[in-house]
Amino acid sequence: MADAEHYEAVVVGAGPGGAAAAATLARNGVETLVLERGVDAGSKNVSGGLIYAEESAPYTIDTLFPGFRGAASERPVTKYYLHNVAGDRVKTFDITDLHEHDTEWSDAVLRRRMDSWLSPAGR
Ligand SMILES: Cc1cc2nc3c(=O)[nH]c(=O)nc-3n(C[C@H](O)[C@H](O)[C@H](O)COP(=O)(O)OP(=O)(O)OC[C@H]3O[C@@H](n4cnc5c(N)ncnc54)[C@H](O)[C@@H]3O)c2cc1C
């Protein structure tokens, strides 16, 4: 056992949840190991989505990870329309107000790039 590695915490999975937990533990001086089953953080992802920074939330992803928006997101989403297509007709609903409810900002993200940047190796 002389060569065994010892850590105070082990986080399984380098998704946003694991990355946030690991970063918070490490910033508080806890020696942390992150285990990710993909070849690297983010590699299991094939899609993306929207990240919302809620005004009422105690913290947001860019408070946990300063520089997040510039480095890991694709673009801000400032308008939100729903297009309902039926045959050759389109009905468009402007739901920007709904999108902006309790929202400080919202960005489109690609999870492969985002998760990769959130990992300690990516920053
Ligand atoms: C189709 C879809 C669309 C979504 N769209 C949005 C959206 O637009 N905006 C939004 O905020 N949320 C969205 N979500 C929800 C969001 O993806 C999850 O809330 C978020 O990914 C949860 O993060 P997590 O870190 O807990 O888990 P995950 O992101 O699932 O990360 C888990 C990580 O653990 C790794 N792992 C799993 N098992 C093991 C193991 N045994 N050993 C080692 N590593 C392991 C995986 O490879 C992965 O990297 C969407 C979800 C789905 C399915």
Tokens 């082990």 sit on residue: 10
Query: Quick one: tokens of 73?
Result: 């997101």
Q: What is the reported pLDDT for 122?
A: 83
120 phi and psi, to 5 degrees? -55, -35
In tens, the pLDDT along 12-54 reads 999 999 999 999 999 999 999 999 999 999 999 999 999 999 9
Q: Does 42 sit in the ligand 1 pocket, CB within 6 Å?
A: no
Do the Cβ atoms of 38 and 107 come closer than 8 Å?
no
Confirm whether 3 is domain-assigned. no
Protein residue whose Cα sits closest to atom 6 of ligand 1? 49
Q: Is residue 2 part of a domain?
A: no
C-beta 44 within 6 A of ligand 1: yes
Whole-structure pTM value: 0.92
Q: Judge whether residue 104 has pLDDT over 70.
A: yes
- At 3, the pLDDT band (50, 70, 90 cuts) reads confident
Residue 26 is assigned to a structural domain of this protein: yes
**Total domains present in the chain:** 1
pLDDT for the residue numbered 1: 61
Check if 38 has its Cβ closer than 6 Å to any atom of ligand 1.
yes
Grouping H, G, I as helix, E, B as strand and the rest as coil, residue 74 is coil
Note down the domain range covering 20.
Answer: 9-122
